[in-house]
């Protein structure tokens, strides 16, 4: 019964958020509270659950706040813009190089671990180049998203932080075994980018 109530609580939160019927703050606070009351827990027990949960995620949340603020300041200061401009200038006119450069840019831009800032930083810089070369913008999005996905396994990114909060294991301990996986992912992504770039080059040539 408890598992069923938990599942219904999660589904209710998802439905409310997808339909826009409640703000995330309300949905994520009131719905679990209602679910806990429905499961027969008292207010004292629920308050203990909240306290335990806050203690478990406080360290990770502090790291998230620092990482987002730190890298956000670096981006606002323009630290990453010369890197991106250099890659754009280096690959200009070569479809294969542009595709591979897009993958590299996606990985570099996602060093802050925040997906929104990654796409806000890269798409405005790359979209005019893709349009000028007649390249498919979906290819750009695929390369950026895949590159960001590989670097989303950094210690300060969301997935490892949430895993650390749940398991109680230090986030760096979780990350170390993933370093070879990330390295292999980078190599495979660059190979995929080269293949898709060649295909895009042939498509553009055939289109005239």
Burial (0-12, 13-18, 19+ Cβ within 10 Å), 163: middle
The model's pLDDT over 172-199, given as tens digits with 9 standing for 90+, comes to: 888 888 889 999 999 999 999 999 999 9
* Mean pLDDT computed over 144-169: 81
**Entry field: residues in the chain:** 208
Structure confidence at residue 71 (pLDDT): 66
The model's pLDDT over 51-65, given as tens digits with 9 standing for 90+, comes to: 887 787 777 677 667
pLDDT at 88 over 80: no
Q: Give the DSSP H or E segment for 85.
A: helix 81-91
Instruction: Report the range out of 14-28, 152-166, 191-205 with the highest average pLDDT.
Output: 191-205
Structure tokens at 47: 């308050």
Q: What percent of the chain has pLDDT over 90?
A: 17
What whole-number distance in Å separates Cα of residue 164 and Cα of residue 60?
8
What whole-number distance in Å separates Cα of residue 25 and Cα of residue 91?
44
More confident residue, 66 or 21: 21
Structure confidence at residue 3 (pLDDT): 83
- pTM listed for this prediction: 0.59
Place of tokens 């042939």: 202
> Phi/psi of residue 155, each to 5°?
-60, -30
What whole-number distance in Å separates Cα of residue 82 and Cα of residue 134?
24
Structure tokens at 187: 């190599």
Structure confidence at residue 42 (pLDDT): 86
How many CA atoms within 13 Å lie on the side-chain side of 91?
Answer: 22
Torsion of CA 76, 82, 84, 85, to 10 degrees: 120
């Amino acid at each position: 019964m408890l598992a069923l109530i938990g599942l219904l609580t999660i589904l209710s939160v998802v439905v409310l958020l997808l339909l826009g019927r409640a703000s995330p703050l309300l949905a994520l606070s009131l719905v679990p509270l209602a679910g806990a009351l429905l499961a027969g827990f008292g207010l004292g027990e629920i308050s203990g659950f909240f306290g335990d949960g806050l203690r478990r995620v406080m360290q990770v949340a502090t790291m998230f706040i620092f990482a987002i603020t730190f890298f956000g300041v670096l981006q606002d200061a323009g630290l990453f813009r010369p890197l991106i401009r250099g890659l754009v200038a280096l690959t200009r006119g070569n479809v294969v190089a542009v595709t591979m450069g897009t993958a590299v840019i996606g990985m570099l831009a996602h060093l802050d671990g925040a997906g929104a800032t990654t796409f806000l930083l890269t798409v405005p810089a790359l979209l005019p180049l893709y349009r000028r070369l007649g390249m498919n913008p979906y290819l750009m999005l695929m390369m950026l998203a895949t590159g960001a996905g590989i670097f989303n396994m950094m210690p300060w990114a969301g997935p490892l932080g949430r895993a650390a909060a749940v398991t109680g294991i230090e986030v760096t301990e979780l990350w170390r075994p993933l370093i070879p996986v990330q390295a292999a992912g980078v190599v495979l992504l660059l190979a995929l980018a080269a293949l898709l770039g060649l295909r895009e080059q042939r498509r553009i040539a055939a289109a005239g």
